Amino acid sequence: MGQIELVNISKTYDKQRHVLNGINLSIEQGEFFVLVGPSGSGKSTLLRMIAGLEEINGGTLKINNRAVNHLPPKDRNLSMVFQNYALYPHLTVEQNILFGLSAKKVDKKEQKKRLIEAADMMGLSELLKRKPKELSGGQRQRVALARAVVSQAPLCLMDEPLSNLDAKLRANMRIEIRRLQKRLGLTMVYVTHDQVEAMTMGDRIMVLNDGVIQQVGPPITLYNEPANLFVASFIGSPKMNKGRAVITNQKIVIENTLHIPLDSSIVLQIPNGRHFTVGIRAEHIPFGTSDNKTHEVEVINVEQLGNETLVTFEVGKELWSAKWLGQWMVNVGDRVPVQISVDYFNFFDSESGLLMKAASIANQQEVVAI
């Protein structure tokens, strides 16, 4: 039994438009659980329902095996960190951190003890007398985190807390939040629209779209075995290369452009003439040599990232990317050899979008256990 149980949860506005529909989910104690999806998918609404800030129209929400549908937020024993930090501008950092404890009338000595611990943990000890307007974005974020820490609530909810920070600070704060969660043993439910954040922080990820769960699982499972075309497009950077395909004469023909030989096992699973969609990750299209190249493609864009190079080319009307480790001196307009193997293809039903066959596990990048 998980610490948080959502049983057939639904949310509607004006009794007609479903924002969330039939959400069934279990979040375990001590888990870092990430809700990810595009804007308007319902992820923040779901988080606010767990917090008690949004009414639940249908289903049951349980925390520690206790139904809490009608409990106010203050009785749910949780803390929350908002996207806009929600700091009181007229209060000092110290007063902001302790505001919740003061409201609960926690003993002054206990408040001081928790303040010192949280401020030290967050690197705020020298800033306690400042007002929020005197702080940088990262410092304000740490104040909001410290306020959550001093509550000592076992459940912490975060709603896109890093979206207002610059890229470097965001990367640092991801590490700090993850360390904090592990150190305190918190159950954390974290909302983001940034799939890189989701991949790097979560023990498990739930992908949400249009109020419906698309897939729940560990990050690497969602990356290697996306349940449908939406997850395949959303998880991974750059996104998975996709193209409509058909099997003809023992070959896959993709976007009427790429012809790739098949082995008999795939032909048996997908009959000739049936249209479907294939997907392949950018890192699974290596530079080809004279011995192993399968195709030559014309480069239409190059991104030099220092540690790797992204090369974009056309497959019919689709833009595909190849990701090569290191610095490759490739120019727009060059024709370059590549190696495209059917072993790295995921096969999807074009109509339903559902995964029919994942890429051959034996041929995916080796996963090393330590």
For 43-47, 65-69, 117-121, 324-328, which range has the lowest pLDDT when averaged over its residues? 117-121
| Per-residue confidence (pLDDT) for residue 362, from 0 to 100 | 45
pLDDT at 52 over 70: yes
**CATH-assigned architecture of domain 238-361:** Beta Barrel (2.40)
Model pLDDT for residues 151-207, shown as the tens digit of each residue: 888 999 999 888 877 888 788 888 888 988 998 899 999 999 888 899 999 999 999
Cis peptide before 238 (omega within 30 of 0): yes
Predicted confidence at residue 179, as pLDDT, reads: 87
Q: What is the mean pLDDT of the chain?
A: 89
- Of residues 131 and 18, which shows the higher confidence score? 131
In this prediction, residue 215 has a pLDDT band, given cuts at 50, 70 and 90, of very high
Q: Looking at residues 217-245, what average pLDDT do you find?
A: 94
Domains of the chain, residue spans: 4-230, 238-361
Give the pLDDT confidence of 281-312 residue by residue, as tens digits. 999 999 998 888 999 999 999 999 999 999 99
Residue 363 binned pLDDT confidence (cut-offs 50, 70, 90): very low
* pLDDT tens, position by position, 246-286: 988 888 999 999 999 886 666 556 766 678 999 999 999 99
pLDDT of the residue at 1: 47
Same CATH topology for 4-230 and 238-361: the answer is no
Confidence of residue 16 (pLDDT cuts 50, 70, 90): low
Give per-residue pLDDT as tens, 102-130: 888 888 899 899 999 888 888 899 999 99
Residue 274 confidence (pLDDT): 78
What mean pLDDT do residues 240-247 have? 94
Region of poorest pLDDT, from 14-18, 42-46, 75-79, 229-233: 14-18
Q: Which CATH superfamily is domain 4-230 in?
A: P-loop containing nucleotide triphosphate hydrolases (3.40.50.300)
Whether the per-residue pLDDT at 369 is higher than 70: the answer is: no
How many percent of the chain have pLDDT more than 90?
58
Task: Tell me the pTM.
Answer: 0.88
Residue 59 pLDDT > 50, yes or no? yes
